[in-house]
């Protein structure tokens, strides 16, 4: 019976399969096999024994059901795996299973394999997000819309600039994740408290052989566990990715409001928005992203608290990590896939964008008029005050802003009507927005080419 929504609702098969019990067990077995091969190469155990351990270190020989049955008796999951693998290998090879290792030599090294695979999936999804946003930015680079600060109309901007900002944010996430992946792709064979005493005089060679076999780097130094600042960094990177996804989803939600109506997430022909209000087109996918981002961010605190283990280690990180990593990765992956779906079929209403640009009757262009007055000789502070008063009059009296300005003799002493109309045109005041979008697109595509 499924209980957690990441099992049946908020997941992709690709990411969920990385965190199944079977996948975790196979990672443990993979590390045990690499350890046996390293021992054999150094002459610690017979090569035939290492070969047998390597052959039997697979789910078809070591069944999850058998491991669980052993764990029910001994109450130690890693040792249950060791016993099950030993059974599968028989007496001659089985006696060399787990030689010299402590539990977290296996678990933390296997965790590095698991998290590396999971980060690779997230990296692909973030890369797709960047690509989608670059295309949207190019498509809308000249689509002028009203900019909003403090929830109020400010000055014009473009949708292309909005999407370019998001694309750059995902580019930074790519860089952070790639760096975090380097730091998480380390394993250890250091024994009970990190001294490597149980591995003998060739301990460092053995550790390197194991990690080379697995495609990992040997940890530089550790105690019984790999230090949890590495893992906390990964979780923090996921939270940052989720925060950007939430930022975009929140913008879509706000711009989909009935009174604004500039954007709308996809809505299928047979889709239902409300169980009682047939007309509703709720931005439920965007709301879901915002909701799940809260859960992803919530994993940061326990990940940070896992850093301060007692002495050479305690077990307080273990139970928390069984929750933190699957939730953070599976939900981040799901959120990114949902956002890709939304943006891939995003509806943009140019009609409503134009309507909202004109909603204040030209008041969003007051800065443009102010600067024109300054250019023609008026003091900046005087121009600001004149336009502030004019905007207040237009707002209070319900007059068109243009009409108020035309009636102002002081302002019109510097401008002609045609100059005013030019200044009140939103498309005349987007600065370098188009050039910025083009520069961002070119730079991000260049960086993408370098990654390939």
Instruction: Residue 207: name the closest of 187, 183, 185 by CA.
Output: 187
Quickly state the pLDDT bin for 268 (edges 50, 70, 90). confident
Instruction: Residue 167: name the closest of 125, 139, 126 by CA.
Output: 126
In three-state form (DSSP H/G/I as H, E/B as E, the rest C), the secondary structure along 51-70 is HHHHHHCCCCCCCHHHHHHH
Spatial distance between the Cα atoms of 107 and 190, rounded to a whole number of angstroms = 12
User: pLDDT (tens digit, 9 = 90+) per residue, 380-402?
Assistant: 999 999 999 999 999 999 999 99
Instruction: Examine the pLDDT at 351 and tell me if it is beyond 90.
Output: yes
Six token digits for residue 391: 């905007």
Spatial distance between the Cα atoms of 333 and 406, rounded to a whole number of angstroms = 56
Instruction: Residue 333: name the closest of 46, 128, 169 by CA.
Output: 128
Q: Give me the pLDDT at residue 188, please.
A: 98
Q: Where are the domains of the chain?
A: 1-99, 101-263+281-359+433-452, 363-423
Spatial distance between the Cα atoms of 291 and 293, rounded to a whole number of angstroms = 5
Q: Give me the pLDDT at residue 190, please.
A: 97
- Average pLDDT rounded to a whole number, residues 348-377: 96
Quickly state the pLDDT bin for 202 (edges 50, 70, 90). very high
Instruction: Examine the pLDDT at 13 and tell me if it is beyond 90.
Output: yes
CATH number of 101-263+281-359+433-452: 1.20.200.10
User: pLDDT (tens digit, 9 = 90+) per residue, 69-96?
Assistant: 999 999 999 999 999 999 999 999 999 9
User: pLDDT (tens digit, 9 = 90+) per residue, 143-192?
Assistant: 999 999 999 999 999 999 999 999 999 999 999 999 999 999 999 999 99
Six token digits for residue 63: 């069944």
- 1-99 is classed in which CATH architecture? Orthogonal Bundle (1.10)
Six token digits for residue 253: 């939600």
Contacts 24+ apart (CB under 8 A), 345-350: 345/266, 346/136, 346/252, 346/263, 346/264, 346/265, 346/266, 347/263, 347/264, 347/265, 347/266, 348/140, 348/143, 348/159, 348/262, 348/263, 349/261, 349/262, 349/263, 349/264, 350/143
Quickly state the pLDDT bin for 450 (edges 50, 70, 90). confident
- Average pLDDT rounded to a whole number, residues 341-346: 97
- Average pLDDT rounded to a whole number, residues 109-124: 98
Q: Give me the pLDDT at residue 427, please.
A: 95
Instruction: Examine the pLDDT at 452 and tell me if it is beyond 90.
Output: no
Question: Quick check: 113 and 10 in contact, CB under 8 A?
Answer: no
pTM of the complete model: 0.95
Q: Give me the pLDDT at residue 53, please.
A: 98
Q: Give me the pLDDT at residue 449, please.
A: 87
Q: Give me the pLDDT at residue 269, please.
A: 83
Question: Quick check: 440 and 172 in contact, CB under 8 A?
Answer: no
Total count of residues recorded for the chain = 452
Instruction: Residue 29: name the closest of 6, 2, 63 by CA.
Output: 63
Residues serving a catalytic function are 150, 274
Alpha helices in 195-283 (DSSP H): 203-214, 229-255
Q: What percent of the chain has pLDDT over 70?
A: 100
DSSP string, 360-408: TTTGGGHHHHHHHHHHTT--HHHHHHHHHHHHHHHHHHT--HHHHHHT-
Six token digits for residue 33: 């096999």
Quickly state the pLDDT bin for 270 (edges 50, 70, 90). confident
Q: Give me the pLDDT at residue 342, please.
A: 97
How many other CB atoms sit within 10 Å of the CB of residue 441?
A: 20
User: pLDDT (tens digit, 9 = 90+) per residue, 27-79?
Assistant: 999 999 999 999 999 999 999 999 999 999 999 999 999 999 999 999 999 99
- What is the chain's mean pLDDT, rounded? 96
N-term to C-term CA, the chain: 42
1-99 and 363-423, same CATH topology: no
Six token digits for residue 140: 């809308």
Question: For residue 289, what are the contacts with CB-CB under 8 A and spacing of at least 6?
Answer: 245, 246, 249, 335, 338, 339
Instruction: Examine the pLDDT at 118 and tell me if it is beyond 80.
Output: yes
CATH number of 363-423: 1.10.40.30
Please list the residues that pair with 264 across neighbouring strands: 347
Alpha helices in 256-315 (DSSP H): 284-298, 300-305
Quickly state the pLDDT bin for 273 (edges 50, 70, 90). confident
Question: Quick check: 113 and 19 in contact, CB under 8 A?
Answer: no
Question: For residue 9, what are the contacts with CB-CB under 8 A and spacing of at least 6?
Answer: none
Q: Give me the pLDDT at residue 414, please.
A: 96
Question: Quick check: 225 and 317 in contact, CB under 8 A?
Answer: yes
Quickly state the pLDDT bin for 1 (edges 50, 70, 90). confident
Instruction: Examine the pLDDT at 275 and tell me if it is beyond 90.
Output: no
List the beta strands (DSSP E) in 118-262.
144-149, 152-158, 186-187, 217-218
Q: Give me the pLDDT at residue 20, please.
A: 97
Alpha helices in 75-102 (DSSP H): 77-94
Q: Give me the pLDDT at residue 355, please.
A: 97
Quickly state the pLDDT bin for 348 (edges 50, 70, 90). very high
Q: What percent of the chain has pLDDT over 90?
A: 94
- Average pLDDT rounded to a whole number, residues 251-274: 93
Left if phi > 0, otherwise alpha if psi is -120 to 50, otherwise beta: which for 196? left
Instruction: Examine the pLDDT at 271 and tell me if it is beyond 90.
Output: no
């Amino acid at each position: 019976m499924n209980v957690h929504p990441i099992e049946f609702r908020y997941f992709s098969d690709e990411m969920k399969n990385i965190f199944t019990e079977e996948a975790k067990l196979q990672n443990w077995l993979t590390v045990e096999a690499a350890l046996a091969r390293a021992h054999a190469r150094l002459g610690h155990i017979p090569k035939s024994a290492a070969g047998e351990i390597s052959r039997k270190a697979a789910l078809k020989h070591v069944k999850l059901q058998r491991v669980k049955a052993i764990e029910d008796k001994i109450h130690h999951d890693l040792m249950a795996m060791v016993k099950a693998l030993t059974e599968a290998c028989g007496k001659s090879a089985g006696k060399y299973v787990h030689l010299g290792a402590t539990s977290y030599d296996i678990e933390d090294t296997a965790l590095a394999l698991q998290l590396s695979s999971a980060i690779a999936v997230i990296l692909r999804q973030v890369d797709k997000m960047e690509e989608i946003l670059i295309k949207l930015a190019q498509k809308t680079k000249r689509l002028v819309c009203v900019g909003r600060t403090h929830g109020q109309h400010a000055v014009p901007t473009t949708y292309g600039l909005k999407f370019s900002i998001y694309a750059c944010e995902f580019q930074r996430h790519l860089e952070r994740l790639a760096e975090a992946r380097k730091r998480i792709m380390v394993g250890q064979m250091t024994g009970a408290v990190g001294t490597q005493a149980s591995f003998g005089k060739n301990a460092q060679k053995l550790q390197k052989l194991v990690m080379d076999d697995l495609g990992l780097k040997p940890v530089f130094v550790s105690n019984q566990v790999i230090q949890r600042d590495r893992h906390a960094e990964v979780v923090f990177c996921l939270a940052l990715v989720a925060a950007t996804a939430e930022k975009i989803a929140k913008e879509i939600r706000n711009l989909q409001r009935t009174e604004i109506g500039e954007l709308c997430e996809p809505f299928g022909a047979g889709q239902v928005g409300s169980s009682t209000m047939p007309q509703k087109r709720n931005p439920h996918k965007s709301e879901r992203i915002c909701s799940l981002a809260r859960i992803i961010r919530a994993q940061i605190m326990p990940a940070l608290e896992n850093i301060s283990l007692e002495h050479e280690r305690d077990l307080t990180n273990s139970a928390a990590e069984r929750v933190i990593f699957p939730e953070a990765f599976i939900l981040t992956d799901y959120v990114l896939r949902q956002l890709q779906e939304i943006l891939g079929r995003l509806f943009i209403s140019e009609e409503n964008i134009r309507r909202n640009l004109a909603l204040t009757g030209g008041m969003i262009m007051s800065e443009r008029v102010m600067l024109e007055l300054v250019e023609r000789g008026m003091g900046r502070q005087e121009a600001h005050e004149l336009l502030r008063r004019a905007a207040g009059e237009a707002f209070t009296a319900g007059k068109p802003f243009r009409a108020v300005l035309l009636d102002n003799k002081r302002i019109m002493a510097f401008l002609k009507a045609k100059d005013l109309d030019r200044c009140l045109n939103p498309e005349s005041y987007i600065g370098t927005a188009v050039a910025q979008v083009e520069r961002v697109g070119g730079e991000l595509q260049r960086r993408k080419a370098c990654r390939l």
